[in-house]
């Protein structure tokens, strides 16, 4: 139990479907993240929210739409995805995202395996 | 640009031996480093961290060494067990990066019984 819960764990969707990934953190953290993990590649940061405001969008296509209704919940809305979007999507949280040393350990959820067919 | 990378993509060790996983970083201003373990089908799990004002930190069966002179980080696992089989990532945070981690590609550790 990492304190970060993701649902669903596995999702198969067609290219015309609309689906959402959900993340909930039980750690009282102020920052939440979406990462994408593809085979043989480093983790790619997609979005960062701090105190429910989006502070980072790493050139992610608009077919991925994040939503952070409160500091404990984070969603990733998916629509008209491509097969190359198939990957493990990891949600994470940290106490905050300032530059202070030691305050930025990021804790990950178990991930949502997405397959686009 | 700045990057964090791992010297070896795979490492195979005998059960009971010590393992050493290496990581090189290019940003000499990075001041905080973390090692993560990712088992198959799971998310990355925090193992141990170290700040740039330290050169060694020990945890339970794990030790992280930081050599700022050559910008090198290593993770040592004592008495490696089958449950240690996983992919290990190092990550760094530097100034002016908004607290965001930069991850390396990962090293896959396989433990032979």
pLDDT digits (tens, 9 = 90+) for B15-54: 999 999 999 987 888 888 999 999 988 899 999 999 999 9
Comparison of pLDDT for A98 and B34, the residue scoring more: B34
Q: In this complex, is the C-beta atom of B21 within 8 Å of any C-beta atom belonging to chain A?
A: no
What is the rounded CA–CA span in Å between residue B52 and residue B63? 15
Q: Are A89 and A81 in contact (CB under 8 A)?
A: no
pLDDT tens digits for range A6-55: 999 999 999 999 999 999 999 999 999 999 998 767 788 899 998 888 88
The DSSP line for B14-33 is ETTS-EEEEEEE--TT--EE
Q: Do B104 and A111 touch (CB under 8 A)?
A: no
Strands A31-37 and A44-50: antiparallel
Collapse the DSSP code of B103 into the 3-class scheme (helix H, G, I; strand E, B; otherwise coil) and give the result.
strand
Is the peptide bond prior to A6 cis by the omega test (within 30 degrees of 0)?
no
CB nearest to A45's CB, from B36, B96, B100: B100
Q: In this complex, is the C-beta atom of A98 within 8 Å of any C-beta atom belonging to chain B?
A: yes
Q: Which residue of A has its CA nearest to B46?
A: A107
Q: Do B100 and A48 touch (CB under 8 A)?
A: yes
Collapse the DSSP code of A35 into the 3-class scheme (helix H, G, I; strand E, B; otherwise coil) and give the result.
strand
């Amino acid at each position: 139990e990492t304190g970060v819960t993701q649902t669903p764990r596995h999702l198969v969707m067609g290219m015309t479907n609309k689906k959402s990934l959900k993340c909930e953190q039980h750690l009282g953290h102020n920052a939440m993240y979406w990462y994408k993990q593809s085979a043989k590649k480093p983790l790619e940061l997609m979005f960062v929210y701090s105190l429910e405001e989006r502070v980072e969008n790493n050139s992610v296509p608009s077919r991925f739409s994040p939503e952070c209704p409160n500091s404990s919940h984070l969603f990733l809305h998916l629509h008209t995805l491509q097969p190359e979007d198939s990957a493990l999507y990891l949600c994470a949280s940290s106490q905050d995202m300032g530059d202070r040393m030691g305050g930025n350990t990021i804790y990950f959820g178990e991930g949502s395996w997405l397959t686009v067919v | 640009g700045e990057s964090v990378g791992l010297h070896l993509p795979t490492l195979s060790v005998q059960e009971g031996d010590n393992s050493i996983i290496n990581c090189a970083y290019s940003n000499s201003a990075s001041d905080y480093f973390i090692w993560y373990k990712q088992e198959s089908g799971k998310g990355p799990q925090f193992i141990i961290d170290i700040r740039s004002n330290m050169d060694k930190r020990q945890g339970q069966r794990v030790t992280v060494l930081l050599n700022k002179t050559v910008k090198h980080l290593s993770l040592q696992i004592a008495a490696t067990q089958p449950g240690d089989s996983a992919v290990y990532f190092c990550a760094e945070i530097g100034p002016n990066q908004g607290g965001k981690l930069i991850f390396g590609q990962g090293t896959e550790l396989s433990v032979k019984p």
